[in-house]
Amino acid sequence: MRIGVNVPNFGPGTDPGVLRGWARTVEGLGFDLLMVSDHVVITPDVAEQYPAPFYEPFTTLAWLAGITDGIRIGTTVLIVPYRHPLLVARMAANLDRLSGGRLVLGVGVGWARQEFEALGVPFERRGALTDDHLRVMRAAWDDEDDYRAGRIPVWVGGNSDAGLRRAVRLGEAWHPLRLTLGRMREALDRLKVIADEEGRPVPGFAPRIALRLTASPVTAPGRLAGEGTIDQVADDLERLRLLGADTVVLDPFDGDPEETRHPEVAWQALATVAARWDLRTRQPRTGQS
């Protein structure tokens, strides 16, 4: 099982030097994948959680690909209805080629109503638009030389039945974001039922989980996967591996934009995970749970 990291590409502490530090830290520790998020217009509903500056994902990833050696790069998640699908297909194909086939395209339908309004995209149609856009992108990659890409893996976010069905129909993997282990188990069971109904293979499983290390165990019933002591986090990773996860993406951002001024806190948490989970063999270190 590979392990990746969601890097904050937003917030008051984020600038090119900090992004460079993130890339060097994540790759230097041996993680497999570096991912960034997506917003286009920082409307009030977005700014409340992800304030400016917000670095656009394709240009940011192109730059990060140029200053890293071999780590995979990706989006978690690109909001599909925000851009024309042929533009996304072109940008993704170009980025995949320029990076040596390193791109993972995590996608979602979006949630920020004010941002949809600012972009002139109907919020109520975001699910249908996402499905249509993904079909157009795949057709472009398959059929036109100018867009043709390698096998760019598409990871589909969303926990509703519509999201799970989208993952079965249009994705290589289901990419849930920051859930409990229990909710992921339930959704995986539902994913298998939907795949059966659709007559399609069950997609891969590539969750993004929290990374919030604590000194004492977290025992609350709603504990997110990735929250708690290093023993709890290591156990979560092992349970996700046994559930069939191909990749787990760690998300060290805990919701306060001021965290972006102190990335070394997150870097230390990642180093703690790297010391516990052998990133080379993709297994827990021998003799540890």
Write down the pTM of the prediction: 0.96
Give pLDDT, residue 286.
67
CB 130 within 8 A of CB 81: yes
Counting residues of the chain whose pLDDT is more than 90, the rounded percentage is 93
Closest CA to 230 of 247, 250, 219, 214: 214
For the four alpha carbons of 143, 146, 151 and 157, in that order, the dihedral sign comes to negative
pLDDT tens for each residue of 31-69: 999 999 999 999 999 999 999 999 999 999 999 999 999
Give pLDDT, residue 74.
98
Weakly modelled stretches of the chain, pLDDT under 50: none
CA atoms within 13 Å, Cβ hemisphere of 259 = 17
Pairing of strands 212-213, 277-278: unpaired
Give pLDDT, residue 219.
96
Give pLDDT, residue 146.
74
Give pLDDT, residue 288.
60
Give pLDDT, residue 19.
98
Query: What is the CB neighbour count within 10 angstroms for residue 137?
Result: 26
Give pLDDT, residue 281.
80
CB 88 within 8 A of CB 134: no
